[in-house]
Structure 1
Amino acid sequence: MTQRRAPGTRGPGGRMVTAGEVFASRSTTGAGSTMRTTRHRLATAAAVLVLVCGPAAAGCSEESGGGRRVGVVVPFLTSPFWEAYERDIPRQAAKAGVRVLPTVNSNNDASRQVSDIRNLLAQNIDGLVVSPIDSAAIVTGLRAAQRRRVPVVAVDVAPDRGKVAIVVRADNRAYGEKACRSLGRAVRRGKVVQIEGDLASVNGRDRTAAFDQCMRRRYPHIRVLDIAAGWQADKAAAGLEALYSANPDIKGIYLQAGGVYLAPTLRTLQRHRALRPRGRRGHIAIVSNDGIPQELDAIRKGWIDATVSQPTDLYARYAMVYIKQALFF
């Protein structure tokens, strides 16, 4: 059964196959403060929102968000995960009464993302929702927003530093831990491949660290082979091709981003005639991360064993709810 926690509370995150959980944490100026959740402040922000945008407030409507404009920046759109998030933004914005500009795609380029933020600020936006590509590089864009007093909501990835109103993200360490346990139970001993995300992103670092620590602690007879793919399908394909050619006895694979890595992984295994359904001799156990329809279809067909899902709908929903609160807080 899917469980979803209320915004502003932290849960264990990353449920297998069904749904992950998302939590929001208020951030000030650094990663150390990013993980603090302040329920009282969130409640206060909601109360202020009611007072400022209540029925008696002139020039403020639920449909328009008071006429204030919000820019939304996504990291890339080469993944069904981010495609789903982008599609959901207009619907959730309408529900929250937020006026959003057309979504900006940074094409997985951290420098371009900072330029995208500056371009939006030049359009005199009132609020910004951004999913950082690089947790360190995004700081330049956050400082530019702070100088203009534009509130920022960070989604999915927390910045290393910089001022944001709130961070909406899932527990990525739980993702790595759950993937480790699922793959470890299936393999027990031998070689497994971990196709990593971008280690410049706190999400990539958290998933890798948790997966590695869990493997060392719980499954000492499993050897982990890493592929640094940086959320890029071509790097995942090239890395897996090289690793499999040198290690045809691979028994398992962990995909840190199924939306990007699933298709190239299945193609590579198929090319080597190593793609066998679950239950068949020689099946390579695969645990993925995202919970997109393509992964669920692959589970039904027996090509992969499990996915740890991320709630794109909740990301979009809470992003709009919290940016509206930030605009009037």
Structure 2
Amino acid sequence: MRPRPVLRSAASVLSALVLLSLLSACSGDSGSTDTSSGGKPLVGVDYPRSDTDFWNAYMKYTPEYARQLGLSLRTTNSQNDVAKLAANGQTLILQGAKGIAMAPQSTFAIAPILAQLQAAKIPVVTIDTRPDTGKVYMVVRADNRVYGERACKYLGTKLGGKGKVVMLEGDLSSINGRDRTEGFNACMKAAYPGIEVFGEATDWDGAVAAQKLQNALTAHPDIKGVYIQSSFALSGTLHMLRQQGLLVGPRNPKHVFVVSNDGVPRELKYISDGDIDATVSQPVDLYAKYALYYLKAAIDGKTFKPGRTDHDSTIVQVRPGLLEDQLSAPLVTADGGTYGGVPSLKSTDTSLWGNNLG
């Protein structure tokens, strides 16, 4: 899930960064444990927001994995604000954090903050997104181009390689929005040239997505597929299809096939109920686990190289000095079938985090 970034003035960001730079002199190399935390290494985690199912799940998993890994935890919430994220970095350093995990939603604006944290010798792990520039110890995410490809292959198979679909894009200033859009479009062009794609930028805003979908359905009433790049637009999409008389079962000729993205519990329920058809499950539980795993590794002085991991993922070098652990993100459907060569899990599969959130 990637919400629309809210940017404060350049002066606000600069002020926060100046304060952060002053902290580098006092952070030093004073060891990897916090004396107030029973000798456990102290790490900080900044949550990007707390008003979505996806990020609320991340907030639930983070303290659980911190306990499992023997870490002491401090958390902040930047609320999609890059200046607040910089200020939160200051807070976490003052609290004694020896490493920080964050999910910067404004991936183009994070480089100055990363540079200041690097100067303070604070390792950083980003999850879900990666910075457009700048260095971090590790990026923990899944291959977002594959998200788009899997949605493409499901819709391409269901539509028999012809027809019209609308893609409710995220924000193309975000690496996730760009990757999903490029993956979907490239797959459609190569594998299903008979399908016409209408891309609608939504800035990760549910209300904008609903309005764009309504406009697309009005202009092209024969649209038979929708790809939602995140569950942020799920409610609005279902409301709009219901309003147009198109929220009908998959055997009804009026049915519009819907593929979402995240794997939150309500998506899995909607798939089982027949309201939507598929989703790509982002491994939010593993985001929490491996964000903390890599922070602990950084504190312990460990290094990593590209290649397969011991947890069914692949570390790739995105650019010189930047590694990304690409976790698995399965396609989920009601029947667990294979679509365009892509196997899927059933929506009731107990291995899915969305079925185990409690």
Query: How many angstroms apart in 1 are the aligned matches of 2:277 and 2:177?
Result: 21
Give the aligned partner of residue 253 of structure 1.
Answer: 226
Q: Does 1:205 align with 2:178?
A: yes
Pick aligned residue for 1:273 from 223, 232, 245:
245
Pick aligned residue for 2:272 from 289, 296, 300:
300
| SS of match in other structure, 1:100 | strand
Q: Which moved more, 1:307-316 or 1:267-276?
A: 267-276
Q: Does 1:139 align with 2:94?
A: no
Give the aligned partner of residue 175 of structure 1.
Answer: 147
The answer on whether the counterparts of 2:227 and 2:259 sit within 8 Å (CA) in structure 1 is: yes
Q: What's the offset of the Cα at 1:106? A: 2.5
The answer on whether the counterparts of 1:183 and 1:285 sit within 8 Å (CA) in structure 2 is: yes
Q: How does 1:78-117 map to 2 (within 5 A)?
A: 78-102=51-75, 104-117=76-89
Pick aligned residue for 1:312 from 284, 292, 296:
284
Q: Does 1:244 align with 2:244?
A: no
Give the aligned partner of residue 189 of structure 1.
Answer: 162
Q: How many residues align?
A: 270
Query: How many angstroms apart in 2 are the aligned matches of 1:77 and 1:242?
Result: 30
Q: What residue ranges of structure 1 are gaps of 5+ in the alignment?
A: 1-51, 54-58
Query: How many angstroms apart in 2 are the aligned matches of 1:76 and 1:219?
Result: 37
The answer on whether the counterparts of 1:111 and 1:137 sit within 8 Å (CA) in structure 2 is: no
The one-letter amino acid of 2:124's match is V
The one-letter amino acid of 2:109's match is A
Query: How many angstroms apart in 2 are the aligned matches of 1:113 and 1:326?
Result: 21
Q: Does 1:66 align with 2:15?
A: no
- Whose strand proportion is higher, 1 or 2? 2
TM-score normalised by structure 2 residue count: 0.70
Change (3 A) 1:88 1:120: same
Q: What's the offset of the Cα at 1:274? A: 1.7
The answer on whether the counterparts of 1:118 and 1:141 sit within 8 Å (CA) in structure 2 is: no
Change (3 A) 1:121 1:233: farther
Query: How many angstroms apart in 1 are the aligned matches of 2:256 and 2:205?
Result: 22
Give the aligned partner of residue 320 of structure 2.
Answer: none
Change (3 A) 1:224 1:114: farther
Cα deviation 1:236-270 (Å, max 9, x = unaligned)? 12222222222222110001112x12111111111
Q: What residue ranges of structure 2 are gaps of 5+ in the alignment?
A: 1-30, 302-358
| SS of match in other structure, 1:101 | strand
The answer on whether the counterparts of 2:34 and 2:42 sit within 8 Å (CA) in structure 1 is: no
Query: How many angstroms apart in 2 are the aligned matches of 1:233 and 1:255?
Result: 10
The answer on whether the counterparts of 2:34 and 2:41 sit within 8 Å (CA) in structure 1 is: no
The answer on whether the counterparts of 1:65 and 1:98 sit within 8 Å (CA) in structure 2 is: no
Query: How many angstroms apart in 2 are the aligned matches of 1:211 and 1:239?
Result: 18
The one-letter amino acid of 1:69's match is L
The answer on whether the counterparts of 1:64 and 1:97 sit within 8 Å (CA) in structure 2 is: no
Cα deviation 1:134-160 (Å, max 9, x = unaligned)? 221111211121121111011111112
Q: What's the offset of the Cα at 1:67? A: 4.4
Query: How many angstroms apart in 1 are the aligned matches of 2:55 and 2:125?
Result: 17
Q: What's the offset of the Cα at 1:207? A: 0.9
Q: What's the offset of the Cα at 1:182? A: 0.3
Query: How many angstroms apart in 2 are the aligned matches of 1:128 and 1:60?
Result: 14
Higher relative contact order (CA 8 A, sep 6+): 1
Query: How many angstroms apart in 2 are the aligned matches of 1:244 and 1:78?
Result: 29
Cα deviation 1:165-195 (Å, max 9, x = unaligned)? 1111111111111110001111222211111
Change (3 A) 1:215 1:105: same
- Whose helix proportion is higher, 1 or 2? 1
The answer on whether the counterparts of 2:34 and 2:96 sit within 8 Å (CA) in structure 1 is: no
Query: How many angstroms apart in 1 are the aligned matches of 2:179 and 2:38?
Result: 35
The answer on whether the counterparts of 2:74 and 2:92 sit within 8 Å (CA) in structure 1 is: no
Q: What's the offset of the Cα at 1:111? A: 4.2
| SS of match in other structure, 2:126 | strand
Query: How many angstroms apart in 2 are the aligned matches of 1:126 and 1:64?
Result: 12
Q: What's the offset of the Cα at 1:78? A: 2.8
The answer on whether the counterparts of 1:65 and 1:97 sit within 8 Å (CA) in structure 2 is: no
Change (3 A) 1:110 1:195: farther
Give the aligned partner of residue 194 of structure 2.
Answer: 221
Pick aligned residue for 1:286 from 247, 250, 258:
258
Root-mean-square deviation (CA, aligned residues, Å) is 2.2
Query: How many angstroms apart in 2 are the aligned matches of 1:185 and 1:268?
Result: 24
Q: What's the offset of the Cα at 1:284? A: 0.2
Give the aligned partner of residue 11 of structure 1.
Answer: none
